[in-house]
Amino acid sequence: MESVEYRGAIAKLWQNRGRIMNVYPSFRPGDEIRVVAPSTGWQRKRVDSYDRATRLLEGLGFRVSFGRNIRDTERFLTGSVAARLEDFHDAYRDTTVKAIMALHGGWSANAVLPGIDWQLVAANPKPLIGFSDVTVLLNALYAQTGRVQYLGPNFASLGHVAARDYSLKSLMDILTSTDELQLRRSRTWERERGKALAKTRPWKVLQKGTAEGVLLGGNLGTFYLLQGTPYQPQFDEPTILAVEDDDEAGVYSAREFERRFASLLQLPGMRQHLCGLLVGRFQPSSKVTMPDIIDIVRRAELGTMPVIADVDFGHTWPMLTLPIGGAVSISTKNNQPQFNLLKY
């Protein structure tokens, strides 16, 4: 049974929806998407993907433009902080730009955080779209401005051919709709790059229940870089956490995921306000199995909150687009997992 304290927190959540559920005018043909590189910059070997992504978005009626420094890369395939900030700020200043999309994920997007002009960003609201390393920017933008951001495909990912329709539909749904959206799992996914698509497993209910709250998170190995910084969201309202991780740790991926998750649960307010958990789909190369995830959840002692695993986000393809800072609900009624983006 829900406590009085929890019901009061839910009431506060909805009273504040003008602040935390703030979204954007519905996207329309002719609107401009600016591509910037806060993480990995332009790679000549990926030009075909960029061209396909451009044609795809332009075929839907949108205009695509690129940051002027997007091709400037240094030793770690990333531009200087100054160059990345220039493109980032230009995208917010330009009133013709309606959404910003990260070229790639990668490393070191967190290096730009201290240099962001937060007043400029808050005064020119528009969504940033991306995943992986871009997780730090999505959550920091929400923490600093109260504006919803979109955990979804990076620009280069849209140029990936396999099972693209599912990813594109999810992205377009969130950009063009202000109605409640019920998310559904993909039917196929790319288990091995370049191989035939595999049948997708149903989303896995690990703990039963229902919850409504603000969605936070993304790539766990990146999200925890915000700990101890002013850019970390405060966990002071009902929170549903979406977490996934990549295969960078190799055979230790499951252990890294467990200790990063444990670290997250120790943050002020997290245990008190966490009311639901979504775990993304892991790459086969991570060697993270469903028994691993089940055991990690069990050892975390999450109480009676709903937990759903193998959801379509993370470092596999295709993927959902999810609203960081947006209101969502999850339910496991009749052991059937449901995941809704609530009307803003």
2 is catalytic: no
Q: Give the pLDDT of residue 75.
A: 86
Share of the chain above pLDDT 90, in %: 81
pTM: 0.92
- List 160, 315, 329, 331, catalytic entry: 315
Q: What is the arithmetic mean of pLDDT over 314-338?
A: 94
Residue from 156, 161, 94 nearest 130 by CA: 156
* SS3 assignment, position 267: coil
Number of domains in the chain: 2
Residue 256 and residue 223 in contact, taking contact as beta carbons nearer than 8 Å:
no
* CATH number for the domain that contains residue 221: 3.50.30.60
Residue from 56, 286, 34 nearest 157 by CA: 56
Beta-bridge partners for 182: 340
Beta-bridge partners for 66: 35
Whether 122 and 245 map to the same domain: the answer is: no
Phi, psi (deg, nearest 5) at residue 32: -105, 135
Structure tokens at 329: 């609900």
> Which stretches of the chain are assigned E, i.e. beta strand?
32-36, 63-66, 97-102, 128-130, 149-151, 181-183, 188-189, 198-199, 204-207, 210-219, 239-244, 274-281, 307-314, 322-324, 327-331, 338-341
Given 162, 179, 196, the domain boundary residue is 179
Weakest-pLDDT range from 88-92, 175-179, 326-330? 175-179
Q: Is the pLDDT of residue 314 over 90?
A: yes
154 torsion bin: left (phi>0), alpha (psi -120 to 50), beta (else): beta
| Assigned domain for 23 exists | no
Given 154, 179, 204, the domain boundary residue is 179
Whether 117 and 160 map to the same domain: the answer is: yes
- List 132, 186, 253, 331, catalytic entry: 132
Size (the chain), residues: 344
Structure tokens at 322: 């999810």
Confidence band for 192, pLDDT divided at 50, 70 and 90: confident
Compute the 3-state secondary structure of the chain and give helix, strand, coil in percent, each to the nearest 5.
40, 25, 40
Q: Is the pLDDT of residue 4 over 50?
A: no
CA separation for the pair 326, 146 (Å, rounded): 10
- What secondary structure letter does DSSP report for 107? S
Structure tokens at 180: 């409640």
In the sheet with 128-130, reading across from the earlier edge strand, the strands are: 63-66, 32-36, 97-102, 128-130, 149-151, 322-324
Q: Is the pLDDT of residue 19 over 50?
A: no
Given 149, 179, 209, the domain boundary residue is 179
Whether 59 and 174 map to the same domain: the answer is: yes
Q: Give the pLDDT of residue 280.
A: 98
Q: Give the pLDDT of residue 74.
A: 86
Q: Is the pLDDT of residue 6 over 80?
A: no
Q: What is the arithmetic mean of pLDDT over 64-81?
A: 92
- List 86, 190, 212, 244, catalytic entry: 244
pLDDT in tens, 201-255: 999 999 999 999 999 999 999 999 999 999 999 999 999 999 999 999 899 999 9
* CATH number for the domain that contains residue 111: 3.40.50.10740
User: Where in the sequence is the domain holding 10, given as residue range(s)?
Assistant: 4-18+182-341
132 is catalytic: yes
Element (H, E) at 168: helix 164-176
248 is catalytic: no
Whether 105 and 191 map to the same domain: the answer is: no
Which amino acid is present at 45?
A: K
Q: Is the pLDDT of residue 1 over 50?
A: no
CA 264 to each of CA 41, 97, 267, 271: distance values in angstroms, whole numbers, following the listed order: 29, 35, 6, 9
pLDDT in tens, 274-301: 999 999 999 999 999 999 999 999 999 9
